[in-house]
Amino acid sequence: MFSALAYQLSSKFLEEQKCAPVKRRTMSKKPAAQPTLHKVIMVGSGGVGKSALTLQFMYDEFVEDYEPTKADSYRKKVVLDGEEVQIDILDTAGQEDYAAIRDNYFRSGEGFLCVFSITEPESFDATQEFREQILRVKNDENIPFLLVGNKSDLADKRRVPLDSCRERAQHWQVPYVETSAKTRDNVDKVFFDLMREIRSRKSDDSRATNGDVKGKKRRKIKCAIL
Q: For residues 165 and 124, is the Cβ–Cβ distance under 8 A?
A: yes
Q: Specify the residue, 13 or 66, whose C-beta has the smaller distance to other proteins.
A: 13
100 makes contact with other proteins (CB under 8 A): yes
4 makes contact with other proteins (CB under 8 A): no
Tell me which H or E stretch contains 39. strand 36-43
107 makes contact with other proteins (CB under 8 A): yes
Interface residue with other proteins among 81, 161, 211, 221 (CB under 8 A) is: 211
Provide φ and ψ at 73, rounded to 5°.
-135, 140
Closest alpha carbon to 163 in 113, 114, 118:
118
Q: Determine the interface stretch with other proteins among 100-108, 144-152, 167-175, 177-185 (rule: CB under 8 A).
A: 100-108
30 makes contact with other proteins (CB under 8 A): yes
Interface residue with other proteins among 40, 42, 90, 143 (CB under 8 A) is: 90
140 makes contact with other proteins (CB under 8 A): no
Interface residue with other proteins among 83, 84, 97, 129 (CB under 8 A) is: 97
Interface residue with other proteins among 79, 83, 84, 108 (CB under 8 A) is: 108
Which region, left, alpha or beta, applies to residue 44 given φ > 0 means left and ψ of -120 to 50 means alpha? left
Provide φ and ψ at 37, rounded to 5°.
-115, 125
181 makes contact with other proteins (CB under 8 A): no
Query: Do β-strands 36-43 and 111-117 pair in parallel, antiparallel, or remain unpaired?
Result: parallel
Closest alpha carbon to 195 in 115, 66, 109:
109
Interface residue with other proteins among 46, 72, 175, 204 (CB under 8 A) is: 72
Q: Determine the interface stretch with other proteins among 77-85, 101-109, 150-158, 165-173 (rule: CB under 8 A).
A: 101-109
d(CA 178, CA 162): 9
Closest alpha carbon to 151 in 108, 187, 99:
187
Closest alpha carbon to 50 in 98, 107, 2:
98
Cα 76 vs. chain centroid, distance in angstroms?
11
17 makes contact with other proteins (CB under 8 A): yes
Q: Specify the residue, 72 or 204, whose C-beta has the smaller distance to other proteins.
A: 72
**Residue 131 Cβ vs other proteins, minimum distance, rounded to whole Å:** 16
Question: Using CB under 8 A as the criterion, which residues of the chain lie in contact with other proteins when the complex forms?
Answer: 1-3, 5-7, 9-10, 12-13, 16-18, 20-26, 28-30, 39, 71-75, 88, 90, 97-98, 100-101, 104-105, 107-108, 136-139, 208-211, 213-214
